[in-house]
Structure 1
Amino acid sequence: MTTLTPDAVAALFTRADGQFLFARWGRPIVPVVFGVTDATVAVLKGAVEALCVLSGHRMAETDPELGANLMVFFLRDWEELPETPNLDRLIPELGPLVARLKTADANQYRIFRFDETGAIRACFAFIRMDAHLSDVPAETLALSQMVQAILLWSDTAFAGASPLVVIDGTAVLRPEIADLIRAGYDPVLPAMDRDPAHALRLAARLGRMQ
Structure 2
Amino acid sequence: MTPDEIAALFTRADGQYLCARWGRPIVPVVFGVEDATLSVLKGAVEAVVTLAGHKMAETDPELGANLMVFFFRDWSELPEVPNLDRMIPDLGPLCARLAAAGANQYRIFRFDEGGAIKAAFVFLRMDADLASVSAETLALAQAVQTILLWSDTAFHGVSPLALAGGQVILRPEIAAVIRAAYDPVLPAVARDASHALRLAARLRVQ
| TM-score for the superposition, normalised by structure 1 | 0.96
The 3-state SS of whatever aligns with 2:205 is coil
Matches of 2:178 and 2:188, distance apart in 1: 12
Matches of 1:207 and 1:132, distance apart in 2: 37
Matches of 1:147 and 1:66, distance apart in 2: 22
Matched, 1:113 2:110: yes
Aligned to 1:52: 49
Identity of aligned residues (%): 74
The 3-state SS of whatever aligns with 1:32 is strand
Aligned-pair CA distance for 1:27: 0.1
Matches of 2:5 and 2:97, distance apart in 1: 30
Q: Is the 8 A contact 1:113 1:121 kept in 2?
A: yes
Aligned to 1:100: 97
Matched, 1:26 2:23: yes
Number of aligned residues = 206
Matches of 1:187 and 1:55, distance apart in 2: 11
CA offset digits 1:99-129 (Å, max 9, x no partner): 1111211111000000011000000000111
Alignment of 1:62-101 (within 5 A): 62-101=59-98
Q: 2:146 aligns with which of 132, 143, 149?
A: 149
Instruction: Give the partner amino acid of 2:6.
Output: V
Matches of 2:167 and 2:81, distance apart in 1: 34
Aligned-pair CA distance for 1:32: 0.0
Instruction: Give the partner amino acid of 1:96.
Output: P
Q: 1:42 aligns with which of 36, 39, 42?
A: 39
Aligned-pair CA distance for 1:195: 0.6
Aligned to 2:161: 164
Matches of 1:140 and 1:31, distance apart in 2: 17
Instruction: Give the partner amino acid of 1:142.
Output: A
Could you list the structure 1 runs, at least 4 aligned residues long, displaced by more than 6 angstroms after superposition: none
Matched, 1:206 2:203: yes
Matches of 1:195 and 1:72, distance apart in 2: 30
Aligned-pair CA distance for 1:163: 0.2
Aligned to 1:7: 4
Aligned-pair CA distance for 1:208: 2.4
Instruction: Give the partner amino acid of 2:23.
Output: G
Aligned-pair CA distance for 1:207: 3.8
Structure 2 unmatched runs, 5+: none
Instruction: Give the partner amino acid of 2:88.
Output: I
Matches of 2:204 and 2:142, distance apart in 1: 24
Q: 2:187 aligns with which of 171, 187, 190?
A: 190
